[in-house]
Amino acid sequence: MGRGRGTNLAVALAISGAALFFALRHVSLHRLGHVLWKGHYGWLLPASFLLLAIFALRALFWRQTLSVTRRVAYPPLYASVVVGTMANNILPFRAGEMIRALYARKLENLPLPLLLSTIFIERLFDLISLSLLLFLFLTTAGQPLGHKGIWVIGGTFGLFAGLYLLVHGREGLLGFLDRTIMPLTRGHRLATRLFSTIEQALHGLSSLTSPVLLLRLFLTSLLIWFLTLLFTWLCLVTFDVTQRPVEVTLAFLVFTNLALLVPSSPGGIGVVQLAAVYALAPFHVSDNRAVALSLVNQALVIAVTAILGYLILSRSHLSLSAMQEQALDLSGAAVAPEDGVAKKDRP
């Protein structure tokens, strides 16, 4: 492991350790064990099926964004979503998105920049949906929206509008680069690769130019997060957190997902526990119950994705560790057009 990666891992572990300390400072291990022992774990069975349905919808979302290139088979995308989620849960550096793209590239022979840009679209819609859920939580909880909420929602839609304008003007941008920058670096391989990478990435974002496809993506994203709300509610019911179900479920879902944006150890251990304690405190849920809920929620996602991901990787004869190394090496680097991509598949 390089010095930079080792430093990043140390920082991530420090953040997780500090978050876990603050999450557990008022937790009694005896009471935590009692809460875990008394859980109604039968609710986790339908929650597991909901998780599989969420993966299916994410694969459908991804297929719709890739439709601007060519028709892509559905099963490889579903497998890629599961493998990427598994990697995010068990590997450091949250390399799951890159691994997801690498796995799909091996199966579907598409350019990596295009795959990553379509994954970025999915994350953008996740951010929009989370912003709407945050707005809904503040409204149902009777709290004022406040400046922070306005900035989150306004910033999200501002980013979306900026990307929309960028994609609509991509031909002009590429023409500008070709006229002004490329002549200065003509013949330089790195410049050619960089230009090709930008072109492929912008092509991957072109689904944002279709109003019909935009509507379909928005509805699919809303359905994904509706099922995620149901999944979260089933986890809450497991530990008898049933008071004010709409507000509690929204609070837990929004704050724990925002916590996952913090660079921390694999699976977000520590930051998710702290977010759960913070989110549930206004509803008079004890720290013991909040931590138990967050641990079981994480354990269920990790278990389902690990089992299914292992079966998928075994069937494909691929190694997660090898893909992790490849993902870390490729992070932030442009990918040459000739990297195993058929000419007919290039945008």
In a domain, 10, yes or no: no
In a domain, 325, yes or no: yes
Contact 228, 54 (CB under 8 A): yes
pLDDT of residue 146: 58
Which stretches of 28-180 are DSSP H helices? 29-37, 44-66, 74-90, 96-108, 112-140, 146-168, 170-180
pLDDT of residue 219: 93
pLDDT band at 143 (very low <50, low <70, confident <90, very high): low
Q: Into how many domains does the chain fold?
A: 1
Does 7 or 339 have the greater pLDDT score?
7
In a domain, 11, yes or no: no
In a domain, 149, yes or no: yes
For the cut 90, the answer to whether the pLDDT of residue 13 exceeds it is no
pLDDT band at 75 (very low <50, low <70, confident <90, very high): very high
Which of 62-71, 113-122, 202-211, 295-304 is least confident? Answer: 202-211
pTM of the model: 0.83
For the cut 60, the answer to whether the pLDDT of residue 347 exceeds it is no
pLDDT of residue 167: 74
Highest mean pLDDT of the ranges 84-88, 92-96, 235-239: 235-239
CA angle 202–207–211, rounded 5-degree value: 135
pLDDT of residue 3: 61
Pairwise CA distance, residues 266 & 94, whole Å: 7
Contact 309, 86 (CB under 8 A): yes
For the segment 283-299, the average pLDDT, to the nearest whole number, is: 93
Does 261 or 111 have the greater pLDDT score?
111
In a domain, 155, yes or no: yes
**Quick one: tokens of 157?**
């839609």
Domain that holds residue 104: 28-345
Dihedral (CA of 185, 186, 188, 193) sign: positive
pLDDT of residue 344: 38
In a domain, 322, yes or no: yes
Start-to-end CA span in the chain (Å): 35
For the cut 50, the answer to whether the pLDDT of residue 339 exceeds it is no
In a domain, 158, yes or no: yes
Which of 84, 87, 105, 106 minimizes the C-alpha distance to 317? 106
CB atoms within 10 A of CB 30: 8
In a domain, 3, yes or no: no
For the segment 74-82, the average pLDDT, to the nearest whole number, is: 93
